[in-house]
């Protein structure tokens, strides 16, 4: 009996000893600022390598197909819409939404941020963003996107985590900090805290074992409410697509409320888009003889 007790005590002591280094690492305040920044950069390096290394960082184009679930203010799903998301990093995007039922018109208007859109004769609505320009194609033809939609897109470009990891971290003015260890979605993670030159705060939860991103939190100032907004993105179901480990399910929350959920069927990278794919001319061709409507400010396109 005594031998068994001694064995139990030894086992407990060994278990405690095994966890001591990890427990010490969970306190980010024990690190000097330069050591904290170095640890954060090391975690980010492992994250990029886990996503595919050069196969991830050298991606310039992406194309994903899937379905998007939209949520109402009460947290209930208001509907699903099929979509294809074409991207040319850092600041070009083309979204094609496919009509599945007539009650999705309000969802599309909410997603794109433009009222009055209607399905084109081909059963689609397309929104194209190109830097500080943008257009939509619906049943009535091609229309310039309003300034508010363009501004929102430009802000999303700066918050996009793929843009941050591939492009934006090369910009001056970033600060890095190791945010400690934690358990998120039943996974042991290391937090990395980043702040850009315009005071956007990014917190990335990186799986300690796989080094893949579990979730991101972007905190920004809301100029209307003068409060801080938290946008949380949860990444699950990673699959290798071409050279990139890709989360095939992405969930977005805004200030603690579920906003949208994306279920990807397929993704591919660097497919080689036509030279005018993110220009207004491509929409004019797609719309055929559809009349070009006047822009929101009354000028002809």
* DSSP, residue by residue, 200-230: -EEEEEEETTT--EEEEEEEEE-TTTSSEEE
Q: Count other Cβ atoms within 10 Å, centred on residue 30.
A: 12
d(CA 64, CA 83): 8
Per-residue CA distances from 95 to 1, 82, 87, 272 (Å): 70, 10, 9, 16
Give yes or no for a contact between 90 and 157, defined as CB atoms under 8 angstroms apart: yes
Residue 11 has a CB neighbour count (10 Å cut-off) of 10
pLDDT attached to residue 31: 86
What pLDDT shows up at residue 107? 61
Residue pLDDT tens, the chain, 301 long: 554 544 554 444 444 444 444 444 457 878 899 999 999 999 999 999 999 999 999 999 999 999 988 787 777 787 788 899 999 999 999 999 886 555 455 566 666 666 556 655 556 788 999 999 999 888 778 889 989 999 999 999 999 999 999 999 999 999 999 999 999 989 999 999 999 999 999 999 999 999 999 999 999 988 788 788 999 999 999 999 999 999 999 999 989 889 889 999 999 999 999 999 999 999 987 765 444 444 444 444 3
Contact 176, 192 (CB under 8 A): yes
pTM reported for the whole predicted model: 0.81
Q: Give me 285's structure tokens.
A: 């061709």
């Amino acid at each position: 009996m005594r031998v068994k007790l001694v064995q139990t005590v030894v086992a407990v002591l060994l278990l405690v000893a095994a966890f001591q280094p990890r427990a010490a690492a969970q306190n980010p305040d024990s690190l000097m600022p330069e050591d904290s920044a170095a640890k954060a950069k090391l975690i980010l390096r492992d994250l990029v390598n886990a996503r595919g290394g050069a196969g991830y960082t050298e991606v310039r184009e992406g194309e994903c197909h899937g379905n998007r679930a939209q949520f109402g203010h009460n947290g209930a799903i208001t509907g699903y819409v099929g979509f294809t998301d074409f991207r040319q990093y850092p600041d070009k995007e083309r979204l094609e939404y496919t009509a599945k039922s007539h009650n999705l018109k309000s969802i599309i208007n909410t997603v794109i941020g433009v009222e009055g859109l209607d399905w084109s004769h081909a059963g689609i609505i397309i929104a194209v963003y190109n830097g500080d320009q943008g257009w939509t194609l619906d049943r009535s033809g091609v229309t310039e996107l309003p300034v508010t939609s363009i501004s929102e897109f430009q802000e999303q470009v700066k918050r996009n985590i793929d843009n941050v990891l591939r492009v934006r971290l090369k910009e001056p003015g970033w600060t890095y900090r190791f945010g400690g260890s934690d358990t998120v979605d039943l996974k042991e993670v290391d937090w990395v805290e980043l702040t850009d030159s315009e005071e956007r705060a990014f917190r990335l939860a990186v799986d300690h074992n796989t080094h893949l991103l579990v979730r991101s939190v972007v905190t920004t100032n809301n100029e209307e409410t003068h409060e801080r907004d938290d946008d949380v993105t949860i990444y699950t179901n990673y699959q290798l697509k071409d050279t990139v480990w890709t989360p095939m399910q992405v969930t977005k929350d805004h200030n603690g409320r579920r906003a949208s959920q994306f279920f990807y069927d397929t993704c591919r990278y660097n497919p080689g888009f036509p030279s005018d794919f993110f220009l207004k001319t491509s929409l004019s061709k797609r719309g055929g003889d559809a009349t070009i409507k006047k822009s929101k400010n009354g000028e002809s396109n």
